[in-house]
């Protein structure tokens, strides 16, 4: 059967996501948030989720909808501080002890995801040595420098935003849209991408930044980026 990874609804895109899922959400600094899919996941309402997301509090991401709806058990991120004086939805639940938090250096965060997708169970990095990150981690010396061991992160579903896809799931990103997306697509059992446009004809090889072999489902949402609240 000819390959066609395009789906026609968010329900199809998210079919099979269950309670307890580890959900990876891409996006950084306003670029690459899969806000249509995030919103749809909040409406679908699976509970007890672990979110792997760079920021738990970015105002342009709809991640807060999952948090406010009480669907999230744990967040793994590199940033969990809201900008305003008032506490963000994440900070409020975290202070109340209702969400578990693992805050990592951003490079360690992205490399743990990369390792998860690349079949590497753990690695050593000098980042975090001598800081509170070192607590509870194995330390080993390489080439005269102490390093901490970091374990891979794998997920059940990745929600990623790209610009254009083709029927094979090949992806092209705009500007800084890729960020954590490619690594997350490799690290999850189910890789779902929302795109501005999903074409029938294949993308030119030179335009492909992520091969479709790492992508399971593509949902075209047009120009709408579903920003913020």
- Footprint of another protein on this chain (CB under 8 A)? 28-32, 54, 56-58, 60, 78-82, 87-88, 90-91, 94-95, 101, 103-108, 110-111, 113-114, 125-133, 163, 174-183, 225, 227
Which CB atom, from 63 or from 88, has the smaller least distance to another protein? 88
Which CB atom, from 79 or from 208, has the smaller least distance to another protein? 79
Shortest distance (Å) from residue 217 CB to another protein: 20
Tokens for 198? 């999903």
Which CB atom, from 94 or from 167, has the smaller least distance to another protein? 94
Shortest distance (Å) from residue 19 CB to another protein: 25
Which CB atom, from 10 or from 179, has the smaller least distance to another protein? 179
Shortest distance (Å) from residue 176 CB to another protein: 5
Taking the C-alpha atoms of residue 112 and residue 122, their distance in angstroms, rounded to an integer, is 8
Shortest distance (Å) from residue 113 CB to another protein: 8
Within 78-170, strands assigned E span 100-103, 122-125, 139-142, 145-151, 155-166
Which CB atom, from 46 or from 117, has the smaller least distance to another protein? 117
Shortest distance (Å) from residue 191 CB to another protein: 15
Taking the C-alpha atoms of residue 208 and residue 199, their distance in angstroms, rounded to an integer, is 13
Burial (0-12, 13-18, 19+ Cβ within 10 Å), 79: middle
CB within 8 A of 149, min separation 6: which ones? 122, 123, 124, 137, 138, 139, 140
| Angle made by CA atoms 68, 70, 73, in degrees to the nearest 5 | 120
């Amino acid at each position: 059967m000819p390959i066609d990874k395009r789906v026609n609804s968010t329900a199809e895109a998210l079919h099979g996501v269950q309670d307890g899922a580890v959900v990876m959400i891409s996006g950084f600094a306003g670029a690459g948030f899969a806000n249509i899919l995030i919103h749809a996941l909040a409406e679908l309402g699976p509970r007890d989720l672990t979110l792997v997301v760079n920021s738990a509090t970015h105002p342009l991401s709809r991640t807060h909808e999952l948090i406010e709806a009480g669907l999230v058990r744990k967040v793994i991120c590199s940033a969990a501080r809201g900008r305003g004086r008032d506490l963000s939805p994440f900070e409020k639940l975290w202070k109340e002890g209702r969400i578990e938090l693992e805050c990592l250096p951003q490079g360690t965060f992205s490399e743990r995801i990369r390792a998860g997708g690349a079949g590497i169970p753990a690695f050593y990095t000098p980042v975090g040595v001598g800081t509170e990150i070192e607590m509870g981690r194995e330390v080993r010396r390489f080439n005269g420098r102490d390093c901490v061991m970091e374990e891979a992160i794998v997920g059940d579903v990745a929600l990623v935003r790209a610009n254009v896809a083709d029927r094979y799931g090949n992806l092209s990103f705009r500007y800084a849209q890729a960020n954590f997306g490619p690594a997350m697509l490799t690290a999850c059992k189910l890789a779902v991408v929302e795109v501005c446009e999903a074409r029938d004809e294949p993308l030119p090889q030179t335009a492909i930044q992520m091969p479709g072999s790492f992508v399971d489902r593509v949902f075209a949402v047009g120009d709408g980026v579903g920003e913020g609240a």
